[in-house]
Amino acid sequence: MKKEMWEKIISCPYHAWSYDLDGKLKSAPHVGGTNHHKPEGFNFSDHGLKPIKIHIWHDWIFINLNGKAKKFEQYAKPLIQKFEDIDFTKLKYAATLDFGKINTNWKFLIENFIEPYHVQFVHKTTTNQLLKDHYTIVDGICYGSGVNVDEEDTKNSSALSVTSKYLSLFPNFIIGTYFPNQIGVYLNIPISPGITSQKRIIYTTDGKNMGDEEIKMVKNIWWNVHKEDHKMCERLQEGRNSPASHDGGLLSPVWEKGVQAFQKLIVDATIKSSKSIKRK
């Protein structure tokens, strides 16, 4: 087969079944025995890849496995509206931080990102943002927090002091804006109930470029901020495994509104999923 054709084929590494880019099965070598690649009664059209719904929003791919999701523009409207001042077509990739595996559940990392309550306690050395300058955001499936500061640190020094928004779109899309020219997007991949893999991708807005030294500085400060969060979330994971936490805990009615909204959405989604399984 020509190289150009191979480049347009999806091949399973297990038994070498191959599919075209539309998901149609094109080859099932030896499926009916040695050199019997198409046994009687085996219909290739019955064994293609299962289609799923996807939507590409700028640099990010959203996946819906059950095919029941609303149109993305409708589903994500609460989030999209909060970025009307950003021209996403002018985003430029700047850097990636790969944190590898973190010993905590992915939901702890979401909750940590969307609430401002912990900032002045956990990030004493990496941020100059005061709790009083923060506010919470809850808009349906979009939730998080923001902060307005009087004096912006436009030089990306070792301690954050910039007007920012920290937002999540249920269930696990995380995006933050950081004045004057940054956006951060997080990828949290659940590995197990107690392990998550995390990456942070940093972009610049308005077509701006970062020099090597600025990229190094930005990566350094965000690495330190995240490691402080990871340390705390890993301790939360240990605490949640204790019998003492079986009855839950108390959330701040002021600072953790986003966490409350997120947990309610998790519960509702779990109940809905459980009912669907029972019907099957």
CATH code of the domain covering residue 235 = 3.90.380.10
Produce one character per residue of 219-244: b if its CB has 16 or more CB atoms within 10 Å, e if not. bebbebbbebbbebbeebbeebeeee
Q: What are the DSSP calls for 138-206, one per residue?
A: EETTEEEEEE--SS--TT--SSB-S-EEEEEETTTEEEEEETTTEEEEEEEEEEETTEEEEEEEEEEST
* Residues above pLDDT 70, as percent of the chain: 93
pLDDT tens digit string along 151-183? Answer: 776 665 666 778 899 999 999 999 999 877 899
Co-location of 93 and 31 in the same domain: no
Number of domains in the chain: 2
**CB-based contact 252:114 (threshold 8 Å):** no
Per DSSP, the three-state class of 127 is strand
Domain containing residue 4: 1-51
pLDDT tens digit string along 168-223? Answer: 999 999 999 987 789 999 999 999 999 999 999 999 998 888 889 989 988 999 99
Tokens of 266: 């998790």
The DSSP 8-state label assigned to residue 137 in this structure reads E
245 CB contacts (<8 Å, ≥6 apart)? 239
Co-location of 126 and 43 in the same domain: no
| 26 located within any domain | yes
Q: What is the C-alpha separation between 183 and 175, in angstroms, rounded?
A: 7
Per DSSP, the three-state class of 97 is strand
Co-location of 115 and 232 in the same domain: yes
Q: Worst-scoring range by mean pLDDT, 103-112, 121-130, 138-147, 236-245? A: 121-130
Co-location of 76 and 146 in the same domain: yes
Co-location of 120 and 33 in the same domain: no
pTM: 0.85
Per DSSP, the three-state class of 19 is strand
Co-location of 170 and 136 in the same domain: yes
Co-location of 91 and 148 in the same domain: yes
**CB-based contact 59:171 (threshold 8 Å):** no
Co-location of 33 and 84 in the same domain: no
Co-location of 44 and 136 in the same domain: no
Where does the pLDDT of residue 128 fall: very low under 50, low under 70, confident under 90, or very high at 90 and above?
A: confident
CA angle, 112 as apex, 232 and 106 as ends, to 5°? 90
| 165 located within any domain | yes
